[in-house]
Amino acid sequence: MGSKDRAVRVMVLVVISLVVFAKSALAQDCPELVGRWPYGPAYAVTVSESYAYFGSGATVLIVNVSEPAAPQVVGEVDLPGVIEDVSVSGSYAYVANSAAGGLRVIDISTPTNPFETGFVDTPGLALGVDVSGSYAYVADGYGGGLRVIDISTPTNPFEVAFWDTPGHAYEVAVSGDFAFVADRDDGLRVIDVSTPTNPFEVGFVDTPGIAWGVAVSGSYAYVADSAGGGLRVIDVSTPTNPFEVAFWDTPGNAKDVAVSGGFAYVVNGEAGLTVVDVSTPTSPSGLGTLYTPGWALGVDASGGYAYVADGTDGGLRVIDVSTPTNPNEVAFVNTPGVAMAVAVSGSYAYVAGGEDGLRVLDVSDPVNPIEVGFVDTPDEAVDVVVSATWAYVADRRGGLRIIDVSEPTTPTEVGFLTTMNWLEGVAVDGGYAYMMEVEPFPPYLDLTVIDVSTPSAPFVTGNLRFDGLAWGNGISVSTGYAYAASWGTGLRVIDVSDPENPVRVGMLDNPGGAKDVAVAGVFAYVVPEDGYNLRVIDVSDPALPTEVGFYDFGLPGYWGTSGIAVSGDYCVVPLCYYDEQVFYHKSNLRVIDVSRPTAPVEVGNFERGGCATGGVTGSGGFIYWAAGDLGLEVFDVSNCSLFSDGFESGDTSAWSTVAP
């Protein structure tokens, strides 16, 4: 009897220990999000009275358009996720805030001082929203379908019902007792919402392309049907029997549509805005097209003007459509592009913003980053490094751009060097820049060495082509050696002590290749393109790199990484993966303690919905993440320390005890 008691007590202690250690595996608030610069591409816009409401990354901007030719930003509110759609009703704006934010409710009664009053965390990917009466209807992506939210009390919205559409619910328009859902591969779905707490499908039309956007006017639904479908006109006078009556083949890929005064305004991605006469819905006719500088993804129309959310490089475009055959841009509000990489020097962060060039942010207060400078580059800024008073930008087909940042508020390009190939990554050491060049078709990878001792006159001193077909952007230089990450093979070590004659001296192949590499001391930290793991490589002998440590991230589904950074005892790796359980992407920022390189251990994890892609860097105890569409995010990693037994460091007074 006694031995049984002891056995039970031992088993209980083992179970308790396992639970305690399982819970203590990650440090609390590691990493802790403390600051944001949440601006990025424009994907959505709506107009109400004298104001346009549009998204810039994770921020809703409110623009006074009472004079359309002179739009003025008067208010803004930051949200957790990318602004995918906005609908205004009364004194509130309702925002589809992607996977990270669900439905957000914003009080706009004072446009100069908007603020969030409530939210509902929808289960899927909130991509579209429309409001009718006391209900908001959310197109919630694949698996989320149509969500019906009671907004009668804006401070306390709550879901009352949903309908699981067969496809990927992307946009919704409500008219009368029916919600019309653009369901991507499954066309247009018609949902009876006469009783909002009991929605059900009554009809559908399978469009030939991908139903991306929808607007309803009178007895017709107008579907922006991407992938070659153009504008489809659907008779919905009998909702149980909708049928197509006409179409117009727009240029590009139809992404969204607005209808006003007998005209349909269709945005077509790379092909801008097309105006279609739909005064006779059964006989639509294209009238005029205006190509915008970015990627036209959202549109609304009011008072003789079309307002276009122009994606990664265009911001908000205001277009005079009073002469439909000749649409003419009269104004724009610029927004940043996709944050792809970041470098920090002193009190400033330098963000490579894709098609929108280089942004300079004051991060003297990391909690409150503020943009102070900007330089446009000719192509696509994908990487950046800062040395002394110079920023070196990898501008893909625009080559290497050298920016004088001695006055961060007035950065100025002073030199450049272009090549025939794509520049994907850059590192600087001494008076030399080391470029990762890709010849894309077929993919060959080169390391090119550039003399930048005179920044206004850079020139090539040496070049090395990697073996086999390869692609890469990760490059780190330390003590006379360049460490290059090749997607197709793995880690390559190049002796660059003679810049005119770089020589490969070591290599370590990896089954998943190598996406990026960071070097600290005698160790190189490598992550593969698929992001499945972290590999710690001893490079004390550069000719014989040897793996000594390994960490498996262990996430489900397909995923990948956008970079790696080393800050003190920590490796920080941003990951994006496709969660097959909920059918959408999620992002992780993983913090790995590498104080013992042979036994790396994860100590922190920041997770959010959506795929935040971009590089990371560490400075002054903070991690700076170029989080793609979400702009720049700043994390405090001071809470990431663990005792050697796996517990958090700090106050131990609350630790549990077990009586003998």
3 state SS for 213-253 = EEEEECCEEEEEEECCCEEEEEECCCCCCCEEEEEECCCCC
Could you tell me the pLDDT band of residue 22, with boundaries at 50, 70 and 90? very low
The 10s digit of each residue's pLDDT in 497-523 is 999 999 999 999 887 788 899 999 999
Whether 106 contacts 77, CB under 8 Å: yes
Q: What does the pLDDT read at residue 555? A: 66
Q: Which residues, at least 6 apart from 261, have a Cβ–Cβ distance to it below 8 Å?
A: none
Pick the range with the lowest mean pLDDT from 42-56, 205-219, 250-264, 600-614: 600-614
Helix (H), strand (E) at residue 202: strand 200-205
Q: What are phi and psi of 9, to 5 degrees?
A: -65, -40
- The whole-angstrom separation of Cα 513 and Cα 535 is 11
Token pair, residue 421, equals 């190939």
pLDDT, tens digit (0-9, with 9 covering 90-100), for 408-431: 999 999 999 998 889 999 999 999
**What's the confidence (pLDDT) of residue 595?**
94
3-state secondary structure at position 459: strand
559 DSSP 8-state letter: E
Share of the chain above pLDDT 70, in %: 90
Q: Is residue 322 part of a domain?
A: yes
Mean pLDDT to the nearest integer, 603-615: 82
List the Cα angle 322/328/332 in 5-degree steps. Answer: 115
Q: What is the mean pLDDT of residues 603-630?
A: 87
- Tell which of 295, 318, 333 closes a domain: 333
Lowest average pLDDT, out of 213-222, 267-276, 471-480, goes to 471-480
**pLDDT of 3 higher than 50:** no
Q: How many CA atoms lie within 13 A of 352 on its CB side?
A: 31
Residue 655: band (very low, low, confident or very high) from pLDDT cuts 50, 70, 90? very low
> C-alpha angle 627/563/23, rounded to 5°?
80
Give helix then strand counts, H and E, for the chain: 3, 59
Q: What is the pTM of this model?
A: 0.89
Q: In sequence order, what are the residues at sequence separation of 6 or more whose Cβ sits closer than 8 angstroms to the Cβ of residue 493?
A: 481, 482, 483, 484, 504, 505, 506, 507, 539, 542, 543, 545
Encoded tokens for 424? 């994907």
Q: For 368-458, list the strands marked E by DSSP.
A: 370-375, 383-387, 390-394, 400-404, 412-417, 422-429, 432-439, 444-451
Mind listing the pLDDT tens digit for each residue in 240-252?
Answer: 999 999 999 999 9
Query: Does residue 86 form part of some domain?
Result: yes
Picking from 333, 351, 385, the residue at the C-terminal end of a domain is: 333
Residue 530 lies inside a defined structural domain of this protein = yes
| Amino acid of residue 153 | T
Note down the domain range covering 159.
Answer: 37-333
pLDDT confidence band for 4 (50 / 70 / 90): very low
pLDDT band at 170 (very low <50, low <70, confident <90, very high): very high
Q: How many domains does the chain have?
A: 2
Q: What is the mean pLDDT of the chain?
A: 89
Candidates 457, 383, 271; CA nearest to 617 is: 383
pLDDT per residue as tens digits for the range 246-288: 999 999 999 999 999 999 999 999 999 999 999 999 999 999 9
Residue 539 belongs to domain with CATH number: 2.40.128.630
d(CA 130, CA 86): 8
Which one is predicted more confidently, 152 or 608?
A: 152
Contact 43, 309 (CB under 8 A): yes
Q: What is the mean pLDDT of residues 156-166?
A: 97
Determine the pLDDT at residue 559.
Answer: 63
Q: Which residues are CB-contacts of 610 (< 8 A; sequence separation ≥ 6)?
A: 81, 82, 98, 99, 100, 125, 584, 585, 586, 587, 629, 630
**Per the domain annotation, does 20 fall within a domain?**
no
Say whether pLDDT at 182 is over 90. Answer: yes
Between the CA of residue 58 and those of 107, 422, 633, what are the distances in Å? Answer: 17, 30, 11
What is the Cα–Cα distance from 147 to 386, expressed in whole angstroms?
47
Residue 251 lies in a domain: yes
**Residue 439 forms beta bridges with which residues?**
444
Maximum separation of any 2 CA atoms in the chain, in Å: 94
Tell me whether residue 193 is in a domain.
Answer: yes
pLDDT value at 296 more than 60: yes
Average pLDDT over residues 576-591: 73
User: Within a domain: residue 415?
Assistant: no
Supply 45's token pair: 């816009």
The amino acid at residue 216 is V
User: Picking from 134-148, 394-408, 437-451, which range would have the lowest pLDDT averaged per residue?
Assistant: 437-451
CA distance 522 to 526: 13
Residue 5 has pLDDT above 80, yes or no: no
pLDDT surpasses 60 at 650: no
Query: Which pLDDT band, with edges at 50, 70 and 90, does 7 fall under?
Result: very low
Percent of the chain scoring above 90 in pLDDT? 76
Tell which of 333, 363, 390 closes a domain. Answer: 333
| Predicted local distance difference test score (pLDDT) of residue 319 | 98
Contact 317, 299 (CB under 8 A): no
At 468 the pLDDT is: 64
Q: Is residue 483 part of a domain?
A: no
Q: What is the C-alpha to C-alpha distance for residues 131 and 282, in angstroms, rounded to an integer?
A: 28
- Please state which of the ranges 38-52, 333-347, 438-452 shows the lowest mean pLDDT: 438-452
CATH code, domain with 87: 2.130.10.10
User: 74: closest CA among 19, 45, 114, 101?
Assistant: 114
What are the distances in angstroms from CA 367 to CA 32, 68, 538?
11, 35, 36
- Res 75 pLDDT > 80: yes
Amino acid at 361: L
Q: Give the residue-averaged pLDDT of 472-492.
A: 89
Confidence tier at 638 by pLDDT (50, 70, 90): confident
Q: How many other CB atoms are there within 10 angstroms of residue 280's CB atom?
A: 11
CB-based contact 417:459 (threshold 8 Å): yes
